């Protein structure tokens, strides 16, 4: 099944407002049509409104880097999914390994965030790492990605098309050492198999699965040549327009 490639940049806690808007203005007229490649940038909430205005009438999708699971309330410092949607944000990254490790986010919390994002018509870009297990059903053994089972709990099948999953081996993030295409393909295949186990084969084939972790212009094409890798989630190499566009064009 043909799935549209995706290149997603995650700026993390980088850039200032003027540099963020300048980046959008540089790349927005160079992007392919959305039926050839979907291009996303996730940035700090401080920048999102101005980035959305700068990206108007272009194919660029603007994502948040995180959100909370309540729309309103006494949650100082958190970001409301309702407010993001009202602003015009397209989606949000959820479950990034830095959120899991530094801020101790559990799969149960991430599941609540996924459901909140969907409730507000935000597209979740859900991250998971190499934590894997096996499920025995009768005489068959299926590999599963254990995080996905909890992160997608209670997600209706009809909402799966709004979700993108990114496989990010924790040892590859920010290390400069990417998984080789065989390792990356295995991880993305296992995610797709998990979706098939949870839902069905058709849902699994429709799901977009990305690889993330030290992706650069040299390895992106090799990674994306794999059958189950539909694109890349990019950190440091998404910060410069020229480097990012090399990855888009790959």
Catalytic residues: 96, 168
Mapped onto helix, strand or coil, the DSSP state of residue 164 is strand
Instruction: State the Cα–Cα distance between residues 243 and 79, nearest whole angstrom.
Output: 30
The structure tokens listed for 223 are 């990674």
Instruction: State the Cα–Cα distance between residues 213 and 128, nearest whole angstrom.
Output: 11
Q: Which alpha helices (H) appear in 15-153, and where do they start and end?
A: 17-27, 48-54, 81-87, 97-102, 107-119, 146-151
Instruction: State the Cα–Cα distance between residues 179 and 185, nearest whole angstrom.
Output: 9
Query: Is residue 73 classed exposed, middle or buried when 0-12, 13-18 and 19+ CB atoms within 10 A define those classes?
Result: exposed
Instruction: State the Cα–Cα distance between residues 131 and 148, nearest whole angstrom.
Output: 10
């Amino acid at each position: 099944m043909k799935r549209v490639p995706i290149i997603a940049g995650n700026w993390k806690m980088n850039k200032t407002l003027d540099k963020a808007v300048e980046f959008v203005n540089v790349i927005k007229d160079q992007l392919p049509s959305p039926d050839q490649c979907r291009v996303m940038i996730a940035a700090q909430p401080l920048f999102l409104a101005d980035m959305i205005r700068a990206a108007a009438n272009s194919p660029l999708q603007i994502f948040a880097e995180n959100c909370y699971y309540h729309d309103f309330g006494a949650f100082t410092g958190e970001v409301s999914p309702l407010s993001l949607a009202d602003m015009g944000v397209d989606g949000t990254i959820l479950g990034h390994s830095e959120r899991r490790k530094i801020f101790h986010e559990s799969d149960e919390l991430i599941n609540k965030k996924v459901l909140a994002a969907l409730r507000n018509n935000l597209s979740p870009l859900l991250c998971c790492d190499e934590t894997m297990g096996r499920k025995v059903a009768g005489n068959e053994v299926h590999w599963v990605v254990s995080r996905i089972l909890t992160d997608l709990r209670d997600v209706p099948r009809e909402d799966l098309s709004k979700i993108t999953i990114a496989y990010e081996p924790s040892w590859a993030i920010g290390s400069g050492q990417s998984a080789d295409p065989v390792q990356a393909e295995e991880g993305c295949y296992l995610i797709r198999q998990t979706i098939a186990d949870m839902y069905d084969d058709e849902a699994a084939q429709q799901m977009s699965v990305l690889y993330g972790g030290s992706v650069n212009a040299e390895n992106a094409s090799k990674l994306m040549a794999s059958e189950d890798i539909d694109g890349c989630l990019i950190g440091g190499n998404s910060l410069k327009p020229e480097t990012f566009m090399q990855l888009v064009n790959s």
